[in-house]
Amino acid sequence: MLDNKKVVFSGVQPSGNLTIGNYLGAIRNFSAFSEEHLCFYCVVDMHSITVRQTPAELRRRTYETLALYIACGLDPMKNNLYVQSHVPAHAELSWILNCYTMFGELARMTQFKDKSAKNETNINAGLFTYPVLMAADILLYQTELVPVGADQKQHLEMTRDIAHRFNNIYGDVFVVPEPYIPAEGTRIMSLAEPTTKMSKSDENENATVRILDPKDVIIRKFKRAVTDSGSEVRFAEGKDGINNLITIYSCFTGKTVSEIEREFEGRGYGDFKIAVGEACADALKPVQEKFSELIRDKAYLESTMKSGADSASYYARKTLSKVKRKVGFVI
């Protein structure tokens, strides 16, 4: 706990155009913590380079991700918004924690196996130790709550294991974080393959709806969404496609599943897909308008990056100094 407030940390990679999965499952929910928690929301550019990036695109997307944070409702005056590589303590703590993480633990990480299969020509050490950097990100701020998607729970469990291991050796150095997983919208699925999570790196453009997609593009993508051979808008086991669309519609409208089923009783999938697309586009419109305003003001974004990094560094140094003393470094 810092400043007598519970600490919340989360980060988003600037390695692709953010989707409604990122929005509904994470970013939209962040502002709820701002009043009563000390919040650190990071653009995790260091994580991005485990996969080869085009430098100019990575820089552009770093600005865009920060602008999206603000456009989605995160006030820089109430939250620490910053870029990961601007706070060197992340990398320093990561190296120390590498020495308290077991090889076998990292080898069991599902995401490492998945990404290795997709990047067989670039299975680098950073990809393997990615969870340790994530642990450093979280533990650096004595974080108590981490808003995560279901696919990140394994990494958070490793973070907890590392914290426990370090604390058992040196005393109560780290707060052991807890996951915060909202009941709704945490796992938005692909529109093309509704058994897999919607991913910003998906090569199939029809599979993902991006936060900055124009309205006509959004509606077209929902019209093409994969469903089953039926026509009844009803949430049921084995109907992954329509279940995903119902979840998305519920998240954007606030309506319950039963209310949605009654609303579209006697109407087919075609009507429902258009309605989901329109609800999505209408909800994203103010975000897109605010983003367009912000992205043109590079000076403001850079000022926000600097003030956020300065603030984050202040808190990060406290933890890092304590860790260095514990392991025996001269500081």
Cβ count within 10 A of residue 283: 16
How big is the chain, counted in residues? 331
Long-range pairs for 223-229: beta carbons < 8 A, 24 or more residues apart: 223/270, 223/273, 223/274, 223/277, 224/191, 225/191, 225/192, 225/194, 225/273, 225/276, 226/191, 226/192, 226/193, 226/194, 227/269, 227/273
Given the residues 78, 200, 255, 290, the one annotated as active site: 200
Given the residues 6, 113, 118, 197, the one annotated as active site: 197
Long-range pairs for 1-4: beta carbons < 8 A, 24 or more residues apart: 1/142, 1/144, 1/175, 2/38, 2/141, 2/142, 2/315, 3/38
Given the residues 5, 6, 113, 115, the one annotated as active site: 115
Cβ count within 10 A of residue 253: 17
Q: List residues bridging with 143 in a β-sheet.
A: none
**Is 115 labeled as catalytic in the residue annotation?**
yes
Are 320 and 93 in contact by the 8 Å Cβ rule? The answer is: yes
**Is 200 labeled as catalytic in the residue annotation?**
yes
Are 111 and 127 in contact by the 8 Å Cβ rule? The answer is: no
**Catalytic sites, residue numbers:** 115, 197, 200
